[in-house]
Amino acid sequence: MKLLLTFAVILSVQISQADSFTIIRDGKEYLCEQRGPLDPGAGIDCENKAYAGPFSRSESQTLCAGARSTAPADCGIKAYAGRWSKSEAVRLCTKARTVGPADCADKAYAGPFSVEQSLQLCEGNGSVLNADCAIKAYAGPYSKEEAVRMCKEQPMLVMRSLQLLEQAVQKSVEMKNTVQSIKQKLEEK
């Protein structure tokens, strides 16, 4: 019993000190994150990095408001080095935890989406998964606006739904082919 209790304490200490960790449940991988501030100075480090880069003091403050790391600055610098303006980079990367929003917006814009739709889809904490989801949803039965709206918040759920829809269509085609085959056999008799 002591061993189990000791293991539980060690595990809880490790988890409480981690920024994020991954668990696998039912064959699916889930990313779990700590919501509290990790480093009280992280926002200042973020602002300094953004200000040392292409952003003004005001833009740096907006970009890094509430930052827990330098990720918003890294994201903003990457976005601005690419095709996005300063204001678009700030909008895209405020509250970012990775450079994911910049990568997401680049992929969405390279696909069928406008600048505004790409920013809307990816701003804050988007990832390439959001862009992949929206591109796939738009290639399927949804409009651009519907794809952006659905894939902004729940990209994994939408991707799973689209996968099930594709499977249903495939089964429908298989069923149609089976029916045609049976009809041909009956006509031959």
Max Cα-Cα span within the chain: 84
pLDDT greater than 60 at residue 117: yes
Own/partner long-range contacts of 26-33 (Cβ < 8 Å, ≥24 apart): 33/97
Using alpha carbons only, give the angle 76, 35, 17 rounded to the nearest 5 degrees.
105
Arithmetic mean of pLDDT over the chain: 82
Q: Note the pLDDT tens digit of each residue in 123-165.
A: 988 999 999 999 988 998 889 999 999 888 877 766 677 677 7
Helix %, strand %, coil % for the chain, to 5? 70, 5, 25
- Give the separation between CA 126 and CA 104, rounded to whole angstroms: 6
Of residues 138 and 30, more confidence is placed in 138
**For the residues 173-181, what does the mean pLDDT come to?**
76
Whose tokens are 């689209």? That residue is: 162
Cβ of 69: how many Cβ atoms within 10 Å?
Answer: 18
Under the banding of pLDDT at 50, 70 and 90, the label for residue 32 is: low
* Predicted local distance difference test score (pLDDT) of residue 11: 45
- Provide the percentage of residues in the chain whose pLDDT is more than 70: 75
- Provide the percentage of residues in the chain whose pLDDT is more than 90: 50
Q: Which residues of 7-45 are buried (b: 16+ CB within 10 A; e: fewer)?
A: eeeeeeeeeeeeeeeeeeeeeeeeeeeeeeeeeeebbee
Q: Is the dihedral of CA 120, 124, 126, 127 positive or negative?
A: positive
- Give the E-state strand segments of the chain in sequence order: 20-25, 28-33
Instruction: Return the axis-axis angle of helices 86-93 and 100-110, rounded to nearest 10°.
Output: 120
Give the closest residue to 134 by CA, choosing from 88, 125, 118: 118
**For the residues 51-67, what does the mean pLDDT come to?**
95
Paired with 30 in beta bridges are 23
